[in-house]
Amino acid sequence: MELTENQEMYLKILDEFIEQEVEPRLKELDTVDEYPFWMQQRMAELGFTRLVAPEEYGGLGENMTTLLLLIMRACQYNNTLGSLLNCSNNANKLLSFANEQQIETFLPRIVEEGKFMGMAYTEPSGGSDSRAVQTTAVLDGDEWVINGTKSFISYRSAVGSWQVSAKTVDEEGNEGISVFLVDAQAPGVSYGAHYDKFGWCGSDTGDVYFKDCRVPKWSVCGEINKGLHVSLSTLDGARLVIGARAVGYAEGAFEKAWEYASTREAFGRMLTDFQALQHYFADMYSDAQVCRGYLMHLASELDAGRSIGKGGSIAKLKCTTMAQQVCQRAMEICGGMGLLKDFGLSRYYEDACVLITGEGTSEIQKNIIFKAIKKDHR
């Protein structure tokens, strides 16, 4: 694929940043489970946190193809780097539903400060069933009062605003689910300790509590009781972003395994001289290339303003499954070294496992794909 001048320029800036500032701290990033504020600040300074935000709102107006290319490169090194690139995509997500007050209050936090618009959807009772929300929002005069607990919520210390799903009742007494945009530091919002988890080191994932959290009436995203439309409307892009992260992990793990196998001897030969391992490398490389190509195709469709239908779910399912398999194989190729944290390979596998679960598990993606196939065959 031929890159545009802009894409080459952004990749060059990102590569220089990685080489000079990220690579020297990779071990720390892989082992110290704290959000790297320094990285957020530098990514904002370099302009990456405004990459795909529209120019009229202070963004650089780049497209999905450019975003995915950069995320694939970033995730070959570090997961948070990929998340920060996606921050600018939060601006487009916000603009897809926001009213004037929401844009004025929250957009600058994304575009100027590089703070995420986080998703607070999952609850202790479950994440796959987005309708099984227990959190409530009740209208009291000119304010909504939100009460509930959200769990498994990421990048809490780096978020400027939360999209929060809650059960609501409209003026006619109809029940539904609405989504609210809430200041991350609003009174009534508090945070539990971060989880000790497998993968996504430094993502500050944990509970977010809403206790009598009062927000202005204009905090509703879109229409009352139509919250699921808000969350579903930007899922296509979000799933491609997950796919791009997955390709990045797979390619990062591939390089690490290649470096090891091409310098390690066994039985008087290089590991890369064994045909069994040659076939592993051929499979790993081909699988990542196919996923990369499919993502680029879907991104160009979105950039052309066309819908990608079930493509987003197919990409999420296939890219994340591929990444988990490739990263696991890469670890096996490196023998015992592959299992040492210090070696810097196992974290790709851990991160890939997180992708399988986040933003709709593989089973949920298969449900969506099957439903779409069935509809196509009516």
Ligand X SMILES: Cc1cc2nc3c(=O)[nH]c(=O)nc-3n(C[C@H](O)[C@H](O)[C@H](O)COP(=O)(O)OP(=O)(O)OC[C@H]3O[C@@H](n4cnc5c(N)ncnc54)[C@H](O)[C@@H]3O)c2cc1C
Our finding on whether 365 is near ligand X (CB under 6 A) is no
116 near ligand X (CB under 6 A)? no
161 binds ligand X (CB under 6 A): no
Please identify, using beta-carbon distances, which residue of 119 and 345 lies nearer to ligand X. Answer: 119
94 contributes a contact to ligand X by CB under 6 A: no
Q: Can residue 152 be called a binding residue for ligand X (CB under 6 A)?
A: yes
Task: Choose, by CB under 6 A, the member of 128, 262, 278, 289 that binds ligand X.
Answer: 128
Choices 8-16, 149-157, 300-308, 368-376; region in contact with ligand X by CB under 6 A: 149-157
Residue 205 as a binder of ligand X (CB under 6 A): the answer is yes
- Least CB distance to ligand X at residue 203 (A): 6
- Is residue 357 a contact point for ligand X (CB under 6 A)? yes
Exactly one of 62, 123, 301, 359 is catalytic; which is it? 359
The yes or no reply on residue 358 touching ligand X (CB under 6 A) is yes
Q: Which residues contact 327 (CB under 8 A, 6 or more apart)?
A: 249, 250, 253, 345, 348, 349, 352
- Does the footprint of ligand X cover residue 354 (CB under 6 A)? yes
CB 184 → ligand X: shortest distance, Å? 12
- In the chain, the amino acid numbered 342 is D
Binding footprint of ligand X on the chain (CB under 6 A): 118-122, 126-128, 152-154, 197, 200, 205, 354, 357-358, 361, 363-364, 367
